[in-house]
């Protein structure tokens, strides 16, 4: 062991003696550039970790659009080759969000009958569960998407952090990015459900097919008629696996948007009770180490001691030189 290593161990022991045991920290958060997360932005959409509005620590995930219909800003976390778990085993899914109250920049946009429309008022950051399901020997990818409007259409709470438990809230299902499942979807099936990424032409009606994560896994939906029809056609996502999660905002929102996300938690089979999280992300900036007060006092004492020792040494040398 080197002298430097010995000194460091001695310093650590001394700090523990003076300030008490140093707290153990498990870093469960990504920093900017973390390879497990990546921004997915289109046009003027933004998604980045910043210190502009910190939540649990010194940072959070900042999301923004400028109002262009193509704006798209997401932060994506993938599991890799192996999924985190099956949708049917999901037991906890939550995150915290913040929406900044902004003055609309263009209240006369022609595609909005009455400004502002209800979905825009209810908009929060969006969460997507990225799914994979084996169909006829192929892995079919799809998404379950949570937007607050489809569970609670009331205006958002602006300018404060909101903790959101998503297990009892409604998600809609998309395949191929543009195919959205609607309430009459299963009624149009003539046999067992075999998704191919395309909606049958006759089902673009009935509203979005909505269900909780547990509902999607078991084939139980908000519309009871859809539940019955899907049960007959054999449709559910019970064997779908979760391969990723995305947080963001966009597209087709009519004006500028600024929001923040933090403290994402995702667990399976009751892992939240035992602390076994598949995903627990507290978005942070790199830490700057600052000594605790007790450590600073010890450091100051040590410097004073070194100063006194140096002074004594110099006095002794001076005395010796005059003898």
Q: So where are the chain's domains?
A: 27-281, 292-322
Q: Are 144 and 213 in contact (CB under 8 A)?
A: yes
The HSE-up count of residue 267 (CA atoms within 13 Å, CB side) is 16
Q: Which two tokens stand for residue 226?
A: 């859809």
pLDDT, residue 28, reads 61
Using alpha carbons, select from 149, 129, 53, 103 the residue that is nearest to residue 255: 103
pLDDT of residue 89: 96
**Tokens coding 246:** 């995305």
Scanning the structure block, which residue is given the tokens 């005059």? Answer: 322
Return the pLDDT at 234. Answer: 82
User: What is the rounded distance in angstroms from the CA atom of residue 4 to the CA atom of residue 83?
Assistant: 44
Predicted local distance difference test score (pLDDT) of residue 109 = 58
pLDDT at residue 255 in the model: 75
Predicted local confidence at residue 288, as pLDDT: 56
| pLDDT confidence of residue 286 | 82
Positions in the chain short of pLDDT 70 = 1-29, 104-117, 176-178, 188-206, 252, 254, 288-323
Secondary structure, 3-state, 28-52: CCCCCCCCCEEEEEECCCEEEEECC
**Under DSSP, is residue 128 helix (H, G, I), strand (E, B) or coil?**
strand
Q: What is the reported pLDDT for 200?
A: 42
From 113, 213, 99, select the one nearest 158 (Cα to Cα).
Answer: 99
DSSP letter string, 57-77: SS-EEEEEEES-TT-EEEEEE
């Amino acid at each position: 062991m080197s002298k430097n290593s010995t000194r460091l161990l001695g310093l650590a022991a001394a700090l523990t003696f003076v300030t008490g045991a140093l707290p153990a920290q498990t870093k469960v958060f990504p920093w900017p550039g973390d390879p497990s997360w990546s921004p997915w932005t289109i046009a003027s959409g933004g998604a980045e970790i910043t210190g502009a509005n910190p939540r649990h620590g010194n940072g959070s995930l900042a999301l923004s659009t400028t109002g262009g219909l193509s704006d798209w800003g997401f932060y994506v976390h993938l599991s890799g080759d192996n999924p985190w778990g099956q949708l049917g085993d999901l037991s906890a899914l939550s995150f915290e969000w913040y929406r900044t109250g902004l003055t609309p920049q263009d209240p006369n946009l022609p595609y909005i009958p009455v400004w502002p429309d209800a979905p825009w008022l209810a908009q929060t950051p969006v969460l997507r569960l990225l799914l994979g399901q084996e169909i006829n020997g192929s892995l079919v990818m799809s998404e379950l998407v949570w937007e607050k409007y489809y569970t609670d259409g009331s205006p958002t709470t602006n300018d404060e952090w909101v903790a959101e438990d998503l297990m009892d809230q409604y998600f809609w299902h998309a395949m191929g990015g543009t195919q959205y499942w609607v309430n009459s979807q299963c009624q149009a099936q003539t046999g067992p459900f075999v998704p191919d990424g395309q909606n049958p032409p006759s089902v673009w009606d009935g509203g979005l097919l909505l269900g909780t994560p547990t509902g999607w896994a078991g084939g139980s939906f908000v519309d009871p008629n859809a539940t019955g029809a899907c049960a007959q056609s054999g449709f559910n996502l019970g064997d779908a696996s979760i391969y990723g999660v995305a947080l963001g905002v966009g597209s087709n929102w009519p004006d500028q948007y600024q929001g923040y996300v933090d403290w994402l938690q995702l667990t399976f089979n009751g892992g939240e009770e035992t602390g076994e999280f598949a995903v627990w992300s507290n978005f942070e900036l790199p830490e700057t180490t600052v000594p605790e007060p007790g450590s600073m006092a010890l450091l100051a004492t040590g410097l004073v001691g070194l100063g006194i020792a140096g002074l004594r040494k110099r006095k002794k040398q001076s005395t010796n030189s005059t003898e």
